[in-house]
Each structure stands twice: as C-alpha cells, then as structure tokens.
Chain A
Amino acid sequence: MKQLRTVFLFEFRNYARSKSFLILTVLLAAAAGIALSIPRFRQAIGPGGPPAESEKKQIMAVADRTESGNIATALKAAFPDRKILAVGEGIDTLKENVENGKYDSAVFADSLLHDTYVVKNIGLTDTAKEQIEEALTALYRLKALEQLGVSPAETQKILSARASSDVVKTKSGKDQTRNFFYTYIVIFLLYMAILIYGQLVASSVASEKSTRAMELLIISTRPENLMFGKVLGAGTAGLLQLTLILGSGYGFYNLNLSYFEGNRIVQSIFGMPASILLYALLFFLLGFFLYAFLFGAMGSLVSRMEELSQAVTPITFLFVIAFIIVAMSMGSGQVDNPVMTVCSYLPLTSPMAMFARIAMGKVAGWEIALSILILAASTVGAGFLAAAIYRTGVLLYGKPPKLREIFSMLKSSR
C-alpha cells in the first residue's frame, strides 16, 4: 500500500508539475472564463460601439410595378435598419446599380405575389428574402380582405392573430433540447480526457521500458502497484485539470449570470441536475481508468517510443467508433435504439452510451446498476490484466507481439 502511494505520488507530480500541464490548464481555464464573459464584453462595447457602420444605413431600392404602390412603405416597416428608396428603374438597371454599388440591394416587385430581390453577395445568414416575402404576403392579404369588404381594423386583427402552444413534460420525462448540451459536453470531455491521458499513460510506460527503468521498478515492487499507481496518478491529475477548467467556467458563469438570461444552452449546461452530475463523475472515472489501464498495457508491449502510436491504434479506433455511435444517436434523439442499448452494457462503450441514455433517454434503475456493475468489474479486471501484461512486457523486446502471443505468455508466466 505504501508502495502504491509512492508510485501514485511520483506519477501525479510527474503530470501536475509538467510545463505542458500547467500551460494547458491555465490557457483552458482562461479560455473558459473569457468565453463565458463574452456577453458582458459585448454589452460593454455594444451601445457605444463602432458608430460609422451603424449610422450609414444600407440602401435598398424598391421598384414597385404593382397597382397598390404601398410596397416601399411595407418594406420600410419590415427593414427599419435600411434606407428604402422608391425608384422607377427596370430590373436590368437595378442589377447594374447594385453591381456598381449605388444600392446595397434592390427589390423589383412585378406583383404582390412575386418579386425579385437583387443583391451583390448572398450572405449566409441573409434572411431578407423571407422578410420581403412575409411583408408582401401580409400586404396581399390586407388588400384581398379589403376588397372583400372587411374593415381595415378587422383585417389588422385577423392578420396579427397568432396561435400559441405550450410544451409541458411529465415529471420523470426529459427535455432533450436542454439535456443534449450537457450530455454532449460530458461525453466530449470524457472523449478528450481518455485520448489525451490514455496516450500519456501509454507513453509513460513505454518510456520506462525503453530506458530500462522498468527493470529497476519491477524488482522493487509489485506490477499491480506500478500499474494502479500510474493510472491513478494520471487520473487524479486529469481530474484536477478538468476541475480547474470547469471551475473557472462555473465561476465566470456565476459572475456573468445576468447576461445569460434567456440563453437556454448555457443555462442548461450549468443547470445540470445533481444526480446527472454524479452519474457523469462515476462513468467518467470508471471509463477513464478502464481505458487508461488498456493504454498502459499497450505501452508495456513496445520496445521503442516510435512503435507506441501503432500499438495503441486498436484501442483508439474502438474508442472513436464508440464515440461516433453515441454522438450520432444523440443527434438523432434516439438514444435508446438497439445499438445504444447493447453499447450501454459493453464496458468499452458503456461510459458514454449508458450516460447518454441516463441523461437523455428512458432507462430503468436496474439497467443503470447492471451497467455500472459490469463496468466497475471490468475496470478492476483490466487493472490486474494490465499489470500482468506489464509484468510480461518487461521481457519483450523487438517486435510488438500479437494478441495471441500475449495471452500464451500470460498463461505461461502464471
């Protein structure tokens, strides 16, 4: 136990004191803080913001060929931020004038139900077409109702009436529009943490092997102490890093709380229910350790650092596929589909799959318990298996062995 503690502290310091760890933590914590302060910054510079741009209104030329002649007025109401200029030009002249910059845009309306919107560049978020259509449709209806003898006041009332609908979810139900974001964030963090720290554990083992420090370690203590100490050290460092980054984010969120009113995404992320947070932590830890053990075992099988990335590829590959399955199921909203159900019991996929189902789907208590049980047992099993592979790996130099060879060696070393 004392030796496990020694290994753990050595490994933990190894990570926590490294420059890259410190720099990454500070940068990401700062980034989280800045990102969550953006609304405040924006509001601070907003009102007094760059005046030249906003004062110079964009010019929209309107050539009205309808009999009603009110299109310019209707568009003025629809585009309060643009200067509407009623002109009598033909479509070709309008095109020329937009091209040469005399107008920023132009509308050529040949009837109330059809017009041509001329613009130089069609912006990605340009909703002018829809706004024009809406304004003209409203105008058409107004005219039509007037012609039918409905009074202007009645017409106004009819046109402005809107049906409204409330959404109520039952008590045990889930709101996928809200929990999608935090589920995705937890799963994505797990994904990043496993890939980054898994690689670190693997390369730490591989470098001990390539420098033969492993030979000294293996005669000093049990392989279980080395493997568990290493993985726990890396896990603690990773968790500390995440806590600092998320803590910074949470702190800045609270500082800027008033600026996030009405921002459902941000509110849903920080309003994650406590039970979900606990599940996130549990699945995060188990999943993290399970993969870290596997990465560590792979690290002990290579003799040179250059071979490492090749050796860990199968695990990385498996893990990325698991991530894609879960992310796609989440995107489709069908987190309880058959593939996900199977994945939520398989230890290599359950940390992400079962968590996504708990957060977004319908899953019974016994299912969660069974999944956690399988995962926890597999994680402990993976730890001892990794230690055994580590023990066997010391004597393997040369080509990384095939899976079959590893098992036959494990058997013979018993």
Chain B
Amino acid sequence: MDFEARGIVKSFGDKQVLRGVDLEASRGSALGLLGRNGAGKTTTIRILMGIFPPDGGKILLDGKPIRRSAVNFGYLPEEHGLYPKKTVSEQLVYLAELRGLNGREARGAVKKWLRRLGMEEAFSRKLETLSKGNQQKIQLAAALLTDPDFIILDEPFSGLDPVNAAVLKDVIREMIAEGKLVLFSSHQMNYVEEFCDSIAILNAGKIVVSGKIRTIKRSYPRSRILVESEQAEKISAFCKNRLGDIVVSSRVKPAEVEINLKSADLKNRLLSALAGQGFDMDGFRVSEPSLNDIFVQYTEGGI
C-alpha cells in the first residue's frame, strides 16, 4: 500500500470522534470514504491533512511516517468559501503562490485549470457572484493548481449539477490515470461506485467495512438471482409451483423477477429449468447488493 492510516484516534473534549480508523490506498486508484453525517469523515480528512493532530495512530506514506511538507497535497475542504469578495483569479493566484509557485507559474496554472473546468469567464469575477456549483469548481481548481500527487476531496460532488459532476468525474479519472493518490468522501454512492476501486465505510468513528468494492460485493451470498423478462409473472408462478425443491422465494419486480435459491450452486439448475420451459429471458444474473444497500446495512442503527 502506498498510503496507510493505522488506528487513528481523536477526541474533542469528552466526545470520542474517531475510535481507531484504518485506511489504505494505492497510487493510481481512488479510495472512497463513506459515512453518514457526523460519522467522522471530515475529522479523518483534517487529520490526514495535518490540520490538527490525532490523539493516537499512525499515518504512513510509502511505509514511512508522512512528512507533509514534502508532499504536494491537493485539498478540497467541505465548505465552499475562500474569499467571497475577491476575484477568482486573485485568490487562486494567492493560494498557488502560497503553495510555492512563482507569480508567472501561478497565473499559468490558474488559467489552465479554469479552462479545464470550463470557468474561463469567471477569471476576473468576484467569487460571490458565481453559483454554488461554480464556486465548488473554483475550489476544485484551488485544490489542483499545484498538480498535486495526493488529492483529498471532501464531498466534491455536493452542489454540482450532472454536467458539472461529469466534468469533475473526468478530472478525477484523469488524476487516477496519472497514477495519483485520490481519496474522497461522499455520501452519493453512485459517484463513488463509478470510479472508486476501494471504499471504506466509517460509522461512529470506526471503519465498519473496507476493501475493493468488487470483493465486498462478492462476499455477499450469491444465491439471489435476477431474471429479466417480460414474462416475470409467469416465471415467478412457475418457480413457486414447480421448483419448490430449489427456490426459497420469488418476487416480481417491473420486467424482472428476483429469485432466492436454497444455495448458490443451484443457479445452473434454475437456468436450465427456465430455458427448458421456453421462457423469453432478456437477462439472467446473480443479484449483487448495490453500494447503497451495503452502506445502509452498515450504517443503520445510528452513529
């Protein structure tokens, strides 16, 4: 693993916010940090960024304790703001210069990123005159100005419309392809599923499940089969009446039927039985839980 966090603990006063958080991520892939509001996502991210220290635990980069001054970070904080009364270019150049670029490089990077995000016309506008989504894009530009190696985005999709979300997705995919470390938090599961290989679900200050999405999904029982067909009703009735020895239950959904088998290895028998009856099937697959299902399952019951 290129990046690891081990047993991060943090309390604010009497309230223990993080109770031993473990995370890992590799270059060239994205890690999605998921959790309900108040689960500790932002606290975890702030600790990774060194905004405040953990009470305990280790943060390692390439196996060694992280030296933040040596890492080119890109950070998108959760709230949008920066300097509402200043022009976009002014504040972006300022932030780029603070991160070590000289004046010319800073202006170049600002222009490049505004163009990349389709925000060129915002160059000399005051930040507060932009819409929420466009302000979010300016924040994103601020995070990426220095061409960072380790990118941490806290709720990057909040406030973006589908078109802007697509722009952001493209940018993140590009970063991943360039072999960067990308970590982001969200509770919008569809975005996470699109380009995260790995996830970590944080609940009540602990990681309750983590790993590759594929592996997590496959860890669920594979005895639930989804058959897509216009004859869903008939198939369901057939299963109930004739296949009682292998089917536990079946449920009709619009244009599909969900069949629960007694065990996962019975799916070929189900397929040949249905095919033998000449049902018109459009699809036959194992029903995997969606990321949403997994999220709800692990985070239900409170923070």
B295 proximal to A (CB < 8 A): no
A27 proximal to B (CB < 8 A): no
In contact, B73 and A219 (Cβ under 8 angstroms): yes
In contact, B79 and A211 (Cβ under 8 angstroms): yes
Interface string of B36-47 (1 = CB under 8 A from A): 000000000010
A6 proximal to B (CB < 8 A): yes
Query: Known contacts A210-B81, A211-B81, A213-B83: does B99 contact A218 (CB below 8 Å)?
Result: no
Alpha-carbon distance between A212 and B50 when the two chains are bound, in angstroms: 15
In contact, B82 and A213 (Cβ under 8 angstroms): yes
A395 nearest CB neighbor, chain B only: B52
In contact, A216 and B95 (Cβ under 8 angstroms): yes
B94 proximal to A (CB < 8 A): yes
* Residue in contact with B97 in the complex, picked from A6, A208, A210, A212, CB distance below 8 Å: A6
In contact, B79 and A212 (Cβ under 8 angstroms): yes
B99 nearest CB neighbor, chain A only: A220
**Which residues of chain A (190-220) have a CB below 8 Å from chain B?**
208, 210-213, 215-220
Interface residues on chain A, size class: 20 to 34
A58 proximal to B (CB < 8 A): no
Alpha-carbon distance between A7 and B83 when the two chains are bound, in angstroms: 14
A222 nearest CB neighbor, chain B only: B69
Contact partners of B83 in chain A: CB under 8 A: 208, 211, 213
B84 proximal to A (CB < 8 A): yes
Query: Known contacts A10-B94, A394-B51: does B79 contact A216 (CB below 8 Å)?
Result: no
A160 proximal to B (CB < 8 A): no
A413 proximal to B (CB < 8 A): yes
* Residue in contact with B52 in the complex, picked from A6, A7, A394, CB distance below 8 Å: A394
Interface string of B80-113 (1 = CB under 8 A from A): 1111101000100011011100000000000000
In contact, B46 and A216 (Cβ under 8 angstroms): no
Contact partners of B94 in chain A: CB under 8 A: 6, 10
B53 proximal to A (CB < 8 A): yes
In contact, B81 and A218 (Cβ under 8 angstroms): no
Contact partners of A221 in chain B: CB under 8 A: 98
Alpha-carbon distance between A10 and B103 when the two chains are bound, in angstroms: 12
Contact partners of B51 in chain A: CB under 8 A: 215, 218-219, 394-395
Alpha-carbon distance between A218 and B82 when the two chains are bound, in angstroms: 13
B202 proximal to A (CB < 8 A): no
* Residue in contact with B49 in the complex, picked from A13, A210, A215, CB distance below 8 Å: A215
B193 proximal to A (CB < 8 A): no
Alpha-carbon distance between A243 and B204 when the two chains are bound, in angstroms: 58
A66 proximal to B (CB < 8 A): no
**Which residues of chain B (99-150) have a CB below 8 Å from chain A?**
99, 142
A43 proximal to B (CB < 8 A): no
Contact partners of B49 in chain A: CB under 8 A: 215, 219
In contact, B73 and A213 (Cβ under 8 angstroms): no
* Residue in contact with B68 in the complex, picked from A13, A212, A219, CB distance below 8 Å: A219
Contact partners of B46 in chain A: CB under 8 A: 215, 395
B78 proximal to A (CB < 8 A): yes
A405 nearest CB neighbor, chain B only: B13
14 residue pairs of the A-B complex, CB under 8 angstroms, read A6-B97, A10-B94, A13-B90, A14-B86, A211-B81, A211-B83, A211-B84, A213-B82, A215-B51, A215-B77, A217-B98, A394-B51, A394-B52, A395-B46
What 11 additional pairs, Cβ within 8 angstroms, besides A211-B83, A215-B49? Answer: A3-B98, A7-B98, A10-B90, A10-B94, A211-B79, A211-B82, A212-B78, A213-B81, A216-B77, A219-B51, A219-B75
